[in-house]
Amino acid sequence: MSLNTFGHVFRVTTWGESHGPALGAVVDGCPPGVPLAEADIQPWLDRRKPGQSRFTTQRREEDKVAILSGVYEGVTTGTPIALEIQNTDQRSKDYSEIAAKFRPGHADITYHWKYGLRDPRGGGRSSARETAARVAAGGVARAVLARMVPGLTITGYMVQLGPHKADRSQFDMGQVDQNPFWVPDAASVALWEAYLDGLRKQGNSCGAVIEVVAKGVPPGLGAPIYGKLDADLAAAMMGINAVKGVEIGAGMDAAALTGIENADEIGMGAGGPEFRSNHAGGILGGISTGQDVIVRFAVKPTSSILTPRATLTVTGQATEIVTKGRHDPCVGIRAVPVGEAMMACVLLDHLLLDRAQTGGVRGRIGG
């Protein structure tokens, strides 16, 4: 991870501001010979697109991705893939207030300190709009994974909205696409709608917890000690806007387990070794076990709220600010496809990195 690039050998570099002419990603190190078209990427962007329910920002962006390089006759060539998304709805509003004051919870003040200046229009580079570029890159990663590891699936969903946790005993993954929250517990939907509507009316917002699960991940991905799969996933998820916590498997609750409980015992199943539980979240010693890779992350409440908050002007005067405009009452909702995209990129990167070192050959157990 180095400034605006991440990945070891499948490397993604993103650029663009919320209200600049466009934003994009350059995807480098992509294997050649993979069928790829805009139509393979666009559906993931459409999932993330704003304005799909009353619970996401009403900004209207087409978010149409264009592939500008690295694909010839519908197939990746192994050269860098430039992905570009035009910004079409940079509403010509008045940014003078945001330019003059620091919005609490936003990067306004830290950008000001670090760079001495900032692009105040929609948060500039720190806007969650940047995540569109990640989702586009994730679409490329998914297309490659689909070919290299056919059974692999990546699914993100919400497990908590504000203080309300979904009921895991009721999880039905078929529900995830059936509600505006991507929650697999249908019973939560009405409660969450009511809660979020209430917050919106108050000019308030809330946070969320998202879980992303990858099934079918081959064992052996990752590497000690700093190129660990879990370390890279942690960085990838913590790097998403507004994320404040990342968990693998049992996560923070692992602290409260005993060693007897936490041991994921191993038996021999029909297809090879089988673990009897997965507190490890599919990763031991930084390397995948072949079980589900399970990551969770917490997204803080949207900082742009209609309730006045104390702050300073750029000239150091005490003032208040109300952040008007079109904002998600819970940015966590739209973080679901972003988390999936980051998972896809990290897994592909480690698949390629493992292939570099080991050739993808696996040690045998029995047989």
**Residues 23 to 62: which contact a second copy by CB under 8 A?**
23-24, 26, 28-33
What burial class does residue 167 get, using C-beta atoms within 10 Å of its C-beta: 0-12 exposed, 13-18 middle, 19+ buried?
Answer: middle
Candidates 47, 59, 142, 228; binder of a second copy (CB under 8 A) is: 228
Candidates 100, 149, 191, 231; binder of a second copy (CB under 8 A) is: 231
Candidates 79, 88, 170, 178; binder of a second copy (CB under 8 A) is: 79
122 binds a second copy (CB under 8 A): no
170 binds a second copy (CB under 8 A): no
In the complex, what is the shortest distance from the CB of residue 10 to a second copy, in angstroms, rounded to a whole number? 8
- Which residues 299-328 are close enough to bind a second copy by CB under 8 A? 299-305, 307, 309-312, 314-318
Candidates 68, 187, 190, 194; binder of a second copy (CB under 8 A) is: 68
Residues 238, 234: Cα–Cα separation, whole Å: 6
69 binds a second copy (CB under 8 A): yes
In sequence order, the 6+-apart residues with CB closer than 8 A to the CB of 45 are 63, 64, 65, 85, 132, 135, 136, 139
The torsion angle over the Cα atoms of residues 82, 83, 89 and 91, rounded to 10 degrees, is: -40
Nearest Cα residue to 44 out of 141, 148, 111, 166: 141
CB 251 within 8 A of CB 243: no
Candidates 14, 175, 179, 188; binder of a second copy (CB under 8 A) is: 14
Decide whether 166 or 174 has the Cβ nearer to a second copy. Answer: 166
Region from 41-49, 166-174, 179-187, 242-250 binding a second copy, contact rule CB under 8 A: 242-250
- Which residues 80-99 are close enough to bind a second copy by CB under 8 A? 80-82
Q: How many residues bind a second copy (CB under 8 A)?
A: 166
In the complex, what is the shortest distance from the CB of residue 328 to a second copy, in angstroms, rounded to a whole number? 11
Instruction: Give the angle subtended at the CA of 296 by the CAs of 249 and 127, to the nearest 5°.
Output: 155
Count of CB atoms situated within 10 Å of the CB of 136: 30
In the complex, what is the shortest distance from the CB of residue 49 to a second copy, in angstroms, rounded to a whole number? 20
Candidates 61, 247, 292, 340; binder of a second copy (CB under 8 A) is: 247
Region from 46-54, 57-65, 170-178, 280-288 binding a second copy, contact rule CB under 8 A: 280-288
Decide whether 60 or 115 has the Cβ nearer to a second copy. Answer: 115
In the complex, what is the shortest distance from the CB of residue 120 to a second copy, in angstroms, rounded to a whole number? 8
In the complex, what is the shortest distance from the CB of residue 64 to a second copy, in angstroms, rounded to a whole number? 14
In the complex, what is the shortest distance from the CB of residue 96 to a second copy, in angstroms, rounded to a whole number? 13
Residues 307, 324: Cα–Cα separation, whole Å: 9
260 binds a second copy (CB under 8 A): yes
211 binds a second copy (CB under 8 A): no
CB 242 within 8 A of CB 249: no
In the complex, what is the shortest distance from the CB of residue 127 to a second copy, in angstroms, rounded to a whole number? 10
343 binds a second copy (CB under 8 A): no
Candidates 53, 58, 170, 357; binder of a second copy (CB under 8 A) is: 357
DSSP per position, 265-302: -EEEETTEEEES--TTTTEETTEE-SS-EEEEEEEPPP
Residues 278, 263: Cα–Cα separation, whole Å: 9
273 binds a second copy (CB under 8 A): yes
Decide whether 174 or 226 has the Cβ nearer to a second copy. Answer: 226
The torsion angle over the Cα atoms of residues 210, 211, 214 and 215, rounded to 10 degrees, is: -140
278 binds a second copy (CB under 8 A): no
Nearest Cα residue to 14 out of 241, 296, 326: 241
CB 314 within 8 A of CB 196: no
CB 141 within 8 A of CB 345: yes
Count of CB atoms situated within 10 Å of the CB of 54: 12
Region from 48-56, 173-181, 258-266, 333-341 binding a second copy, contact rule CB under 8 A: 258-266
CB 162 within 8 A of CB 155: no
CB 282 within 8 A of CB 152: no
